[in-house]
Amino acid sequence: ATPPVQARDDGLILFSMIGTRVLLPYLLAIKSLHAQLRRGRVVILDDGSLTADDKKVLERHLDNPRIFPIATVDVGPCPRGGTWERLLTILDLRRDAYVIQLDSDTVTLGPVPEIETAIARGHSFTLRGAEDSELLPLPEVSARSRAAAAGNTTGRVHVQSAIEQAMEQLQIPGRDELRYARGCSGFAGFAPGSDGRALAEAFSQEADRLIGRPKWSEWGSEQVTSNFVIANDPGALLLPYDRYMNYW
């Protein structure tokens, strides 16, 4: 019953990967954000399950959004699945626009001045993965991750912990003083730029070398890469946790 979004080709893309199961929560997520920003156009990555009726609903409510089929995404040397297609599509789109990645399990409850400022200044942003998340040089990331893992007695190592422990060994030609932050890719902004995909692919190939492709292909590697790309963008912002909370 809410009025349709009016799309604007103004340099902002509101992007999500969705399927038929999350159609209604996605509409809540996208409309609640757009109600605050009042700008941008919607682009969607179809996970392969959107029906013809779903697409009619999206067309009506979101002003005929562009919809990419997931099977058409070229992942290059990166893993397939685990939302990698989502990240790589974002990094292609950001060549010409500011792209906000929005998960369907988010809701915007009030004004978002930090987002508006980030867009205006051309700065990328991400949710914090935890209240104490911060931008760190890679050797410190590895030191903290190893310390946190020291108490793990289960024998199971999450892909995020595995690559964070190895980050101090990361080597990407032409890129010095690399940084990382534990963020959450459920809500993230990618400022316009041309080298995002190249950096993501180089990072993924290094992760393959450091922890092996089977481990790197596990769920969570895309979020690590999203965090890494944003952390190394100029002026990257970790959103204040008291206003942009990641609810566990």
Report the pLDDT value the prediction gives residue 116, as an integer from 0 to 100. Answer: 98
Number of helices (H), then strands (E), in the chain: 9, 9
Cβ-contact 17, 101 below 8 angstroms: no
Report the pLDDT value the prediction gives residue 155, as an integer from 0 to 100. Answer: 74
Q: In this prediction, what percent of the chain has a pLDDT beyond 70?
A: 99
| More confident call, 153 vs 47 | 47
Mean pLDDT of 234-243: 96
Q: Mean of the per-residue pLDDT values for the chain?
A: 95
32, two tokens? 């609640």
What secondary structure letter does DSSP report for 21?
G
pLDDT at residue 193 is higher than 90: no
- State the pLDDT confidence band at 232, using cuts at 50, 70 and 90: very high
Measure the CA angle with vertex 52, ends 50 and 54; round to 5°: 55
248, two tokens? 């566990």
Report the pLDDT value the prediction gives residue 196, as an integer from 0 to 100. Answer: 76
pLDDT at residue 247 is higher than 90: no
Report the pLDDT value the prediction gives residue 69, as an integer from 0 to 100. Answer: 97
| More confident call, 245 vs 79 | 79
Report the pLDDT value the prediction gives residue 52, as an integer from 0 to 100. Answer: 98
Report the pLDDT value the prediction gives residue 11, as an integer from 0 to 100. Answer: 97
178, two tokens? 């690399």
Burial class (CB in 10 A: 0-12, 13-18, 19+), 36: middle
Mean pLDDT of 96-121: 97
pLDDT in tens, 12-46: 999 999 999 999 999 999 999 999 999 999 999 99
Report the pLDDT value the prediction gives residue 68, as an integer from 0 to 100. Answer: 95
pTM, full prediction: 0.95
pLDDT in tens, 120-168: 999 999 999 989 999 999 999 999 999 988 877 777 899 999 999 999 9
Pairing verdict, β 98-102 and 66-69: unpaired
Least confident of 54-63, 72-81, 126-135, 150-159: 150-159
